[in-house]
Structure 1
Amino acid sequence: MAGETIRADVVGSLLRPPGLLEARERYSAGGMTAPEFKRAEDRAVDWAISLQERAGLPVVTDGEMRRESFQSQLVEAVEGFSGHTIEAWLWGDWHGDEAVGDRRTERPPELGVVGPLRRRRHLCAEEFVYARARTEKTIKVTIPSPSMYANLWSPELSKEAYPTLDLFLEDVAEILREEVEELVRLGAEYIQLDAPHYPLLLDPKTRRFYEERGWPFERWMSRGVELDNHVIGDHPGVTFAFHLCRGNQGSRWLVSGSYEPLARALFANVHAHRLMLEYDDERSGTFEPLAHVPEDKTAVLGLVTTKSGRPETPEELEARIREASRFVPLERLALSPQCGFATSVVGNALGVEDEERKLRAIVQTAENVWG
């Protein structure tokens, strides 16, 4: 897989079908047994894989159907965290158009690391094993970047278990590294680290929050990437992607700005083969930072928005790819959505028909550009 270039890619999550959302509510309320809920999840994964196969994608995910949020599985699989609700994954100073509105969601004070981390189960192994049995396509498994969990550490709440942020994130990184090793043992060939917290540093207010955790900006660019590389490890034949977006919940976003302040440190130093980059509108800036993409990496352009049903045409997508090729040769480019369609169970403001149409447009564009 590592030597194969996939031109039409997918980031991760898909809209949860209504039956799964209803099952999740019933299960949480005690109205459904664990085996019944597991079968509901299985059906949703079958549906997600079928949708991606119909669209013609060469790589598929399980749609993150088993997750409350793209980042929730660490808290669900590992001991040491206080209780949480869905709001734990939705907090932030969100922005959107008039249809979805701006909304400030406060961080729940009760969520955090309060004890030593001990893994109860693997985070993603079940997802991969089940999906592997249901498709011949390459399966991408998504896991969070370890330093993304810095917001779960605080000097007050966590001091008994982890006196410093470094000690906490080192344990998180080790758990995620073991997860990667297990996925590789099971036959996974494509693994993605989701790292939206790096672009969030572009916003002064958000950067202040993260720096209050104990790391200045420069340390985020060095120690954070060091932990990412620890998770990636050394696995010949396995492709790793690194996803950088600017927030995606309920069709809203968190920050704007060019990749330029991050590009030199991130693009060259993270040991991923593919950089999944958000470029669906003017908030992402120009393609000029792509000049920092090293020759051994592919830049996957997230030109297709998941925040609305706006239909992109292969013609307009091809024109933007050609524009980006001024900075990265065409043979080192690929195409994808800018983010998942439902980074939590909340989902974005578009329909399944829009979702499938967008994935088909990605496949058609890739065929037009690369053959």
Structure 2
Amino acid sequence: MSGFNLPSRADHVGSFLRPAYLHQAREQYFKGEIDAKALREVEDKAIREVVQLQKDVGLKAITDGEFRRTYFHVDFLRQLGGVYTDEPRTHKRADGSEELTPPLIKVIEKVRHVKNIQLDDFNFLKALSTEPGLKPKVTIPSPTMLHFRGGRAGIDATAYPELEPDFYEDVAKAYGEELKSLYDAGCTYVQMDDTNLAYLCDERMREAARQRGDDPNALPAKYAAFINRVVAHKPQGMTLAMHLCRGNFKSTYAAEGNYEPVAEALLSQMNIDAYFLEYDDDRSGDFRPLRFLGKDKTVVLGLISSKFGQMESKDDIKRRIDEAAKYAPLEQLALSPQCGFASTVHGNDIAFDEQKAKLELVVDIAREVWGE
């Protein structure tokens, strides 16, 4: 069907709540009580269980729940040559909730691909996803994170006196080599998680970009060109998706705002196959930005909250799909939760049975709307 390129109309962003025994093993590892091999064996057990959960609810895109990571982005980025990150921190908001303070991400040397970062993890996942119709999906952070967090000041001037073209091309080449290593192992579905384009919908974040010396009106097109450099290195036959995230730490968020400031660059100029867009509440704005969606691209509507356990009304979700279809063809749409259930190891404030029920709701609605 034209415009649709995912394994199913029911998809998900990728991260899942960690079971208590995995939290315990990670704590033992960081205390030096068990070694890396013992931790990986516990992770393997937890991943087998979460893969079975995905199969049981009827999902076709299968992830490892990001169970080997502490944070969705830092664990990957720090394994690129030339990149330095510190540990994210948390602080209390005025209302008592916790907020994640973004980690320092700096480019200190020429960026390069020094090892296959996700290959072993993918091979383990692939062995668990062999049934017909299933497609193992790898999630990685967007390359834009190497620029947005620090701007020009976060990128070493000796390594990169000018950012264009060497910085962007070096990062794209490093990502391309990672994607090729995955593709050669049989991976045909990769999702990049990007907070930065979503943050550029929020006036507070736009002002922060101005303070760093960047023009928030110019950044969306610049980032679309950046991503297109990565796409140019992507193996033919691999589906590359992007999830736009407004923050997802312990059921809180960091940004809000309509997609309009980034919509044209994102949906028309960027050569991505699919977009996972958060649309779970009013902070995401309306569906009008979908009018920019290019042909043969898919938008996965994140209409089901992964932050809170309260179940959505099936009829309400169907009405919202109909509303979105006024701006983008129904055959180019799909459905998912708005984000993962645990973008960080801490997880959202939602129960395991609620997590499962949310996924079952996604699958049920997709079957009824698209006939799957």
CA-CA distance at 1:5 after TM superposition: 5.7
Calculate the aligned-residue CA RMSD, in Å.
2.6
User: Of 149, 153, 156, which residue of structure 2 is paired with 1:155?
Assistant: 153
Q: Which residue of 2 aligns with 1:197?
A: 196
Greater displacement, 23-32 / 118-127: 118-127
Give the AA of the match of 1:60: I
CA-CA distance at 1:153 after TM superposition: 6.0
Q: How many corresponding residue pairs?
A: 363
> CA–CA distance in 2 between the matches of 1:43 and 1:139?
17
Give the AA of the match of 1:217: P
> CA–CA distance in 2 between the matches of 1:31 and 1:276?
39
CA-CA distance at 1:308 after TM superposition: 0.7
Alpha-carbon distance change, 289 to 35 in structure 1, aligned in 2, over 3 angstroms: same
Q: Deviations over 1:261-316 (max 9, x none)?
A: 21112101111121111100111111111111122211110001111111123332
> CA–CA distance in 2 between the matches of 1:84 and 1:295?
40
The SS at the match of 1:302 is strand
Alpha-carbon distance change, 283 to 81 in structure 1, aligned in 2, over 3 angstroms: same
Q: Which residue of 2 aligns with 1:349?
A: 349
Q: Which residue of 2 aligns with 1:73?
A: 75
User: Of 140, 143, 146, which residue of structure 2 is paired with 1:146?
Assistant: 143
> CA–CA distance in 2 between the matches of 1:206 and 1:31?
41
Q: Contact (CA 8 Å) 2:192, 2:241: kept in 1 or not?
A: yes
User: Of 7, 10, 17, which residue of structure 2 is paired with 1:8?
Assistant: 10
The SS at the match of 2:144 is helix
Q: Contact (CA 8 Å) 1:112, 1:154: kept in 2 or not?
A: no
Q: Does 1:230 align with 2:239?
A: no
Q: Which residue of 2 aligns with 1:175?
A: 174
Q: Contact (CA 8 Å) 1:263, 1:292: kept in 2 or not?
A: yes
> CA–CA distance in 2 between the matches of 1:83 and 1:289?
34
Give the AA of the match of 2:370: W
Alpha-carbon distance change, 154 to 327 in structure 1, aligned in 2, over 3 angstroms: closer
Length-normalised TM-score, structure 2 = 0.89
Q: Which residue of 2 aligns with 1:28?
A: 30
Q: Which residue of 2 aligns with 1:337?
A: 337
Q: Deviations over 1:113-157 (max 9, x none)?
A: 333445442222122111000123111111221112222566378
Q: Which residue of 2 aligns with 1:359?
A: 359
Q: Contact (CA 8 Å) 2:77, 2:83: kept in 1 or not?
A: yes
> CA–CA distance in 2 between the matches of 1:86 and 1:23?
21
Unpaired segments ≥5 residues, structure 1: none
CA-CA distance at 1:108 after TM superposition: 5.6
The SS at the match of 1:349 is coil
Q: Contact (CA 8 Å) 1:258, 1:284: kept in 2 or not?
A: yes
CA-CA distance at 1:112 after TM superposition: 2.9
Give the AA of the match of 1:251: S
Greater displacement, 319-328 / 300-309: 319-328
Percent identity between matched residues is: 37
The SS at the match of 1:40 is helix
> CA–CA distance in 1 between the matches of 2:183 and 2:366?
28
Q: Does 1:289 align with 2:281?
A: no
Greater displacement, 341-350 / 314-323: 314-323
Q: Which residue of 2 aligns with 1:131?
A: 125
Greater displacement, 120-129 / 131-140: 120-129
CA-CA distance at 1:237 after TM superposition: 2.6
Q: Deviations over 1:240-264 (max 9, x none)?
A: 2121121111111111111112111
> CA–CA distance in 2 between the matches of 1:256 and 1:173?
28
Unpaired segments ≥5 residues, structure 2: none
User: Of 55, 58, 64, which residue of structure 2 is paired with 1:56?
Assistant: 58
Length-normalised TM-score, structure 1 = 0.89
The SS at the match of 2:335 is strand
Q: Which residue of 2 aligns with 1:101?
A: 97
Q: Which residue of 2 aligns with 1:44?
A: 46
User: Of 104, 109, 115, which residue of structure 2 is paired with 1:115?
Assistant: 109
The SS at the match of 2:179 is helix
> CA–CA distance in 1 between the matches of 2:12 and 2:141?
16
CA-CA distance at 1:169 after TM superposition: 4.6
Q: Contact (CA 8 Å) 1:307, 1:341: kept in 2 or not?
A: yes
> CA–CA distance in 1 between the matches of 2:230 and 2:318?
34
